[in-house]
């Protein structure tokens, strides 16, 4: 990890830059795969799964018996952990379900908004170096609460051609029956365009690497909605001398182990904290099974010493992290100044992994600085909100002068006429209802 002391503000853009691939080459590669999937359907899915995952697919849909095998293979401890996490996630997200409230904006003019579940949604669950079955809970539970009628799940097969049993068990537990053994760009293309096996969906959810993120953005430009640009994982920590350095190091490593393109950032007002955290990172890293991934990510990561808490908060808001941990004195008061972050963790006993798995909040969050404008996934992400209005005779008569004046000023005479013709009808026919 690089240690940077008292950087001037005009250097922050460079300092806070995320690791990126060559986007021009990335987009060209992804576009070619998407075009192939759109044209050749299942045949392209098989070909790219063999090329990228080294797996010859015998079946793109996961057969029913695979779920039964997963149920036998998965231990009760993990099943119970998933049940606990699911209950907390459901409790938190159920509170987001909105009731319909009718607002009378003026006498006789009623307006309301009704949330309607998106009919067909696709969930992308990364596999690769780690089967992220927890993401199924984070996406399927709010989708079900929102009332989505068709939920499709795509996830890459392992090297043995099978999907991890925890992924299949979590899918069945959350009520998903349509699971497809495909990953990466080809999975995004399959859900966006539809193939002989995979249904076309209206909106795609789920994190992934830079190829998956690029694919989501490209299909979004072509007309398929996506949740957000969710790329490689990241965490920022603000720590002062009230922190426990071993905890901070563990939090940094918990994100670094996601993959080589992940990034972690520590911002602190204390040189002592930097020294202690750096030593703890080195010691804990050696004990991690995924230390090679974490070590690579740490090459892109930084420990930054700043002058005071004001400068720290300005820097963190500029960075707009996916996850922000406040391991400091008066954390709750300081956190009121957070304006750009996906999810915030307060105090020494709130590890980011609590949100990743079981506290109840959603872990599908904006990365790469998109927290300046995007929220994490919620029930709202899975609904369309349709507005309704009803005007009575009296309501239309009362509001008509305002509508007519505005329409006339904009030169839209037919708009004015749509109101005027009704007003004249009401005035000439008192029996009109």
Q: Of the given ranges (115-119, 166-170, 290-294), which has the lowest mean pLDDT?
A: 290-294
The closest alpha carbon to 103, from 388, 385, 396, 398, belongs to: 388
Kindly state whether residue 142 falls inside one of the protein's structural domains: yes
The per-residue pLDDT of the chain, averaged, comes to 95
Kindly state whether residue 189 falls inside one of the protein's structural domains: yes
In this prediction the pTM is 0.93
The residue range of the domain holding 274 is 2-19+232-360
Confirm whether residue 319 is marked as ligand binding: no
Measure Cα distances from 143 to 2, 29, 182, 253, 269 in Å.
41, 31, 21, 31, 42
Residues 50 and 155 reside in one and the same domain: yes
Confirm whether residue 258 is marked as ligand binding: yes
Q: What is the CATH number of the domain that holds 31?
A: 3.40.50.1980
Residues 209 and 97 reside in one and the same domain: yes
Q: What is the pLDDT of residue 433?
A: 56
Confirm whether residue 178 is marked as ligand binding: no
Confirm whether residue 209 is marked as ligand binding: yes
Confirm whether residue 284 is marked as ligand binding: no
Residues 304 and 408 reside in one and the same domain: no
Q: How far apart are CA 433 and CA 426, in angstroms?
A: 8
Residue 304: how many other CB atoms lie within 10 Å: 24
- For residue 108, count CB atoms less than 10 angstroms from its CB and return exposed for 0-12, middle for 13-18, buried for 19 or more: middle
Per-residue pLDDT of 241-276, as tens digits, reads: 999 999 999 999 999 998 787 889 999 999 999 999
Q: Of the given ranges (72-76, 126-130, 135-139, 195-199), which has the lowest mean pLDDT?
A: 126-130
Q: What is the pLDDT of residue 43?
A: 98
Per-residue pLDDT of 48-103, as tens digits, reads: 999 999 999 999 999 999 999 999 999 999 999 999 999 999 999 999 999 999 99
Confirm whether residue 233 is marked as ligand binding: yes
Confirm whether residue 42 is marked as ligand binding: no
Residues 209 and 259 reside in one and the same domain: no
Positions marked catalytic? 322-323
- Here the tokens at position 53 are 């995952």
Kindly state whether residue 373 falls inside one of the protein's structural domains: no
Residues 247 and 211 reside in one and the same domain: no
Residues 201 and 249 reside in one and the same domain: no
- For residue 100, count CB atoms less than 10 angstroms from its CB and return exposed for 0-12, middle for 13-18, buried for 19 or more: exposed
Confirm whether residue 210 is marked as ligand binding: no
Report whether 338 contacts 313 (CB < 8 A): yes
Residue 264: how many other CB atoms lie within 10 Å: 28
Q: What is the CATH number of the domain that holds 408?
A: 1.20.5.1300
Q: What is the mean pLDDT of residues 151-167?
A: 95
Per-residue pLDDT of 361-401, as tens digits, reads: 999 999 889 999 999 999 999 999 999 999 999 999 999 99
């Amino acid at each position: 990890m690089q240690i940077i002391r008292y950087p001037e503000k005009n250097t922050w853009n460079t300092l806070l830059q995320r690791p990126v691939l060559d986007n021009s080459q990335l987009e060209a590669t992804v576009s070619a795969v998407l075009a192939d999937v759109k044209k050749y359907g299942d045949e392209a899915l098989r070909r790219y799964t063999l090329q990228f995952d080294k797996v010859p697919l015998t079946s793109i849909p996961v057969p029913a018996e695979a779920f039964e095998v997963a149920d036998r293979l998965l231990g009760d401890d993990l099943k119970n952990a998933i049940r606990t996490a699911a209950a907390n996630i459901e409790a938190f997200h159920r509170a987001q379900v909105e009731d319909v409230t009718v607002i009378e904006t003026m006498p006789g003019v009623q307006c309301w908004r009704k949330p309607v579940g998106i009919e067909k949604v696709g969930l992308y669950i990364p596999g690769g170096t780690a089967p992220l079955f927890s993401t199924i809970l984070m996406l399927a539970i709010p989708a079900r609460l929102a009332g989505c009628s068709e939920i499709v799940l795509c996830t890459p097969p392992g090297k043995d051609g099978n999907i991890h049993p925890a992924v299949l068990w979590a899918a069945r537990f959350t009520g998903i029956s349509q699971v497809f053994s495909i990953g990466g760009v080809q999975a995004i293309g399959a859900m966006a365009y539809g193939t002989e096996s995979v249904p076309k969906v209206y909106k795609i959810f789920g994190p992934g690497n830079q190829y998956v993120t690029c694919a989501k953005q490209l299909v979004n430009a072509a007309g398929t909605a996506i949740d957000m640009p969710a790329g490689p994982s990241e965490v920022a920590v603000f720590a002062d001398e009230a922190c426990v350095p071993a905890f901070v190091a563990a939090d940094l490593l918990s994100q670094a182990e996601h993959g080589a393109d992940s990034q972690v950032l520590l911002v602190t007002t204390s040189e002592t904290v930097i020294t202690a955290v750096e030593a703890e990172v080195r010691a804990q890293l050696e004990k991690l099974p995924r230390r090679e991934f974490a070590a690579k990510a740490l090459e892109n990561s930084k420990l930054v010493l700043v002058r005071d808490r004001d400068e720290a908060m300005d820097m963190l808001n500029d960075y707009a992290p996916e996850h922000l941990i406040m391991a400091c004195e008066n954390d709750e008061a300081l956190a009121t100044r957070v304006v750009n972050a996906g999810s915030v963790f307060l105090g020494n006993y709130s590890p980011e992994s609590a949100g990743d798995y079981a506290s109840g909040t959603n872990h599908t969050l904006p990365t790469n600085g998109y927290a300046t404008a995007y929220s994490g996934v919620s029930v709202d992400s899975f609904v369309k909100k349709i507005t309704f209005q009803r005007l009575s005779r009296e309501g239309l008569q009362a509001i008509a002068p305002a509508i007519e004046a505005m329409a006339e000023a904009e030169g839209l005479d037919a708009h004015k006429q749509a109101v005027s013709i009704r007003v004249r009808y009401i005035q000439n026919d008192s029996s009109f209802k």
